[in-house]
């Protein structure tokens, strides 16, 4: 009986070491994939990308969270610097009582963007889905992704795996509440999205094409 218990403990320990090795390997792969593709606003200004993809984050009472506000600020800096003529706001608008993308567009227009330049992806429920839909629904091929530094390597890995030419510009601000949890969650999210990219399942919704070289008001729902 004692030998059986020892064998079980050894098997579990071996399994744990294997899982840890996979976790480290996958995370290193994702982080290395972003090398040379994370730029400053000044470096990105001359890219003339199809769109600036701003990834959604939380909103409350019709106002963006601090994290989302920083992403929007960075997206607007890129827009005014001429990095792209179009903004694609991608986030969660899966319920009537929760809407990230209209808040994002309203903030962009209030900051001086032309409404026709601002597209909304109402079904950007995850990083993978946002980038997949940027390619298949909005027909973008060259994109600049805006999100926080911890999140950018995964977004760039997904974009590359889906055949997009992509760069990232980090939205940086003060320390965000709960960031330690997000950092830990990101380690597992990278593994998940490496698997998603290997099999490339369709997102929750696709629908008709709305090319980003058209009129962003076509995505308005208010």
What secondary structure does DSSP assign to the chain, as a single string? -HHHHHHHHHHHHHHHHHHHHHHHHHHHHHHHHTTT-EE-HHHHTT--BSEEEEEP--EETTEE-HHHHHHHHHHHHHHHHTSBS-EEEE-B--BTTB-HHHHHHHHHHHTT--GGGEEEETB--SHHHHHHHHHHTS--SEEEEEE-TTTHHHHHHHHHHTT-EEEEEE---SPPTTHHHHHHHHHHHHHHHHHHHHH----S---S---TTS-GGGG---
Residue 96 predicted with pLDDT over 90 = no
Q: What's the rounded mean pLDDT across residues 143-149?
A: 97
Q: What's the CA gap between 32 and 20, in Å, rounded?
A: 18
The predicted pLDDT at position 176 comes to 85
Phi, psi of 66 (to 5 degrees): -60, -40
What confidence tens digit (pLDDT) does each residue in 106-133 have?
999 999 999 999 999 999 999 999 999 9
3-state secondary structure 161-182: HCCCEEEEEECCCCCCCCHHHH
For residue 10, the tally of other CB atoms under 10 A from its CB is 10
Query: Are the CB atoms for 91 and 101 separated by under 8 Å?
Result: yes
Can you read off the two tokens belonging to residue 61? Answer: 């009472």
Can you read off the two tokens belonging to residue 120? Answer: 């909304």
Residue 10 predicted with pLDDT over 70 = no
Residue 15 predicted with pLDDT over 90 = no
Q: What's the rounded mean pLDDT across residues 42-59?
A: 95
The predicted pLDDT at position 216 comes to 96
Minimum mean pLDDT among 4-13, 46-55, 105-114, 132-141: which range? 4-13
Residue 21 predicted with pLDDT over 90 = no
Between 136 and 13, residue with greater pLDDT: 136
The predicted pLDDT at position 61 comes to 87
Minimum mean pLDDT among 10-24, 47-61, 64-78, 207-221: which range? 10-24
pTM of the model: 0.92
Q: What's the CA gap between 167 and 131, in Å, rounded?
A: 12
**Mean predicted lDDT score pLDDT of the chain:** 92
């Amino acid at each position: 009986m004692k030998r059986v218990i020892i064998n079980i403990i050894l098997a579990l320990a071996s399994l744990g070491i294997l899982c840890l090795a996979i976790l480290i390997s996958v995370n290193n792969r994702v982080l290395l994939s972003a090398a040379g593709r994370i730029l400053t606003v000044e470096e990105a200004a001359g890219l003339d990308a199809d769109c600036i993809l701003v990834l959604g984050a939380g909103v409350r009472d019709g106002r963006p969270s601090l994290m989302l506000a920083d992403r929007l600020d960075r997206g607007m800096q890129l827009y005014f610097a001429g990095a792209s003529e179009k903004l694609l706001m991608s986030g969660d608008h899966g319920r009537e009582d929760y809407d990230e993308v209209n808040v994002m567009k309203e903030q962009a227009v209030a900051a001086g963007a032309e409404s026709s330049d601002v597209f909304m992806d109402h079904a950007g429920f995850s990083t993978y889905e946002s980038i997949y839909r940027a390619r298949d629904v909005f027909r973008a091929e060259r994109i600049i992704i805006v999100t926080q530094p911890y999140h950018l390597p995964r977004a760039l890995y997904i974009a590359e795996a889906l055949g997009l030419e992509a760069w990232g510009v980090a939205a940086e601000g003060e320390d965000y509440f709960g960031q330690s949890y997000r950092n830990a969650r990101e380690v597992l999210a990278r593994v998940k999205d490496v698997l998603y990219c290997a099999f490339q399942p369709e997102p929750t919704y696709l629908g008709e094409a709305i090319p980003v070289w058209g009129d962003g008001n076509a995505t308005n729902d208010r």
